[in-house]
Structure 1
Amino acid sequence: MRHDIVRSDGRIVVRPFVTEDAQSFFAAVRESVESLSYWFPWCYPGYSQTDAESWIRYCLQSWESNAEYPMGIFDAATGNCLGGTGINHLSRAYNFGNLGYWVRESRRANGIASAAARFATDIAFTELKLTRLEIFVLPHNVSSQHVAEKLGATREGIARNRLLFQGRPSDAIAYSLIPSDLFANEGR
């Protein structure tokens, strides 16, 4: 794994997870389990320390095999996990991936998701050399739409039955980013 892939603005740090992050990641998920479990099937009321440790092992293996690139969002001052971001659902044939992000309950609405997503986008385009990122957002997930728009992502339309939400097919708003978008929107 590349341990040199780190982005920070002095407030947050975005980097690949390491084994020692399991406890802090677990605390972030447990704090947010009620809201996260609504959006993400991996999060459920009984989410355990063992689940967090398994996730961290999966992250390490994913980076090692270049299958996907999960990253943690950390408080620059305390080192506490604030959430996650990353690039997944890669298409090697077309050189693109999907951008995702979430922030723990107590730190939402502070611009952390936008900053972390911008760092993940930078990593995707400069380190991973991808040429396109996609963001798919459920129509009622207004917060995630705001993050995509703040990044300067282009809203491309509605992708029918694009996501499974709570076990059922759901439409999603499709956004995209290409490398020139990141640099055009640096001041946002």
Structure 2
Amino acid sequence: MFPETVLHSRRLLLRAFDAGDITDTLASCSDSLTQRWLPLPRPYTLDDATAWCTTTAHAMRDSGDGIQFAVTDADSKRLVGQVGLKKTDWRALVSEVGYWVSPWARGRGIAVEATRTLAHWLLTDQRFQRMELRAAAENAASQEVAIKAGFHREGTLRNAGFVHGARVDLVLFSLLPGDLGSSTDPTEHR
């Protein structure tokens, strides 16, 4: 299982979800754009947000499946999104990243910065060998995040995903330790 940790970047603080995130999680996951690309409950209710913030996100770490972070503005501390790992293969040292950005924070590079911060921690501190990112073939914004975060496009996984009962093709991206470059990453962790 991943250790409990807090990650910092220039503008963001990545930490465990807590009950204080329920209202903003409800608003974010009820948003039509978030709902379009993620297989979230429809409608997304207060009970769903409460379960995610207080139980489900924490259970993913406890089970070894991954780790979920509330992405917050470093200054205001307000929730601006989520980034996390799932489908972790501990033997192969591979995990898949996923994210969403709150409607009030879109267009500011939040997903790119949070994904880079998590990738640096996973591939450097945790010594993983590969981070994967899968985006629906029609989700251009998510694919743009992958490219800006330094991922390499590997190909299309035909009919490999589903969103609200419909099958979708997924574009597979990957990031390896050598892709991080030799420059010092501005993230800090503790």
Q: Shorter-normalised TM-score: what interval?
A: 0.7 to 0.9
Inter-partner Cα distance in structure 2 for 1:119 and 1:40: 22
Tell me the residue number matched to 1:21. 21
Aligned letter for 2:88? Answer: L
Task: Decide which of 120, 123, 132 is 1:122's aligned counterpart.
Answer: 120
Q: CA deviation at 1:90?
A: 1.2
Q: What do the CA deviations read for 1:83-110 (whole angstroms, capped 9, x no partner)?
A: 1111101122321011111111121111
- The answer as to 2:113 corresponding to 1:112 is no
Aligned letter for 1:26? Answer: L
Task: Decide which of 136, 141, 148 is 1:138's aligned counterpart.
Answer: 136
TM-score (norm 2): 0.86
Q: CA deviation at 1:15?
A: 2.1
Q: CA deviation at 1:167?
A: 1.4
Q: CA deviation at 1:184?
A: 5.1
Inter-partner Cα distance in structure 2 for 1:132 and 1:117: 14
Aligned letter for 1:122? Answer: H
Inter-partner Cα distance in structure 1 for 2:45 and 2:163: 22
1:17-96 pair list within 5 angstroms = 17-30=17-30, 33-44=31-42, 46-56=43-53, 57-96=55-94
- State percent identity of aligned pairs: 27
Aligned letter for 2:15? Answer: R
Inter-partner Cα distance in structure 1 for 2:167 and 2:48: 26
Task: Decide which of 158, 161, 171 is 2:159's aligned counterpart.
Answer: 161
Q: CA deviation at 1:29?
A: 2.9
1:6-17 pair list within 5 angstroms = 6-9=7-10, 11-17=11-17
Assess, with a 3 A threshold, how the Cα gap between structure 1 residues 139 and 186 changes in structure 2: closer, same or farther. Answer: farther
Answer yes or no: is the 8 Å Cα contact 2:29–2:35 preserved in 1. Answer: no
Name the count of aligned residue pairs.
183
Give the secondary-structure state (helix, strand or coil) at the position aligned to 1:67: coil
Inter-partner Cα distance in structure 2 for 1:49 and 1:38: 19
Assess, with a 3 A threshold, how the Cα gap between structure 1 residues 170 and 27 changes in structure 2: closer, same or farther. Answer: closer
Inter-partner Cα distance in structure 2 for 1:22 and 1:67: 22
Inter-partner Cα distance in structure 2 for 1:184 and 1:100: 25
Q: What RMSD in Å do the two structures reach over aligned CA positions?
A: 2.1
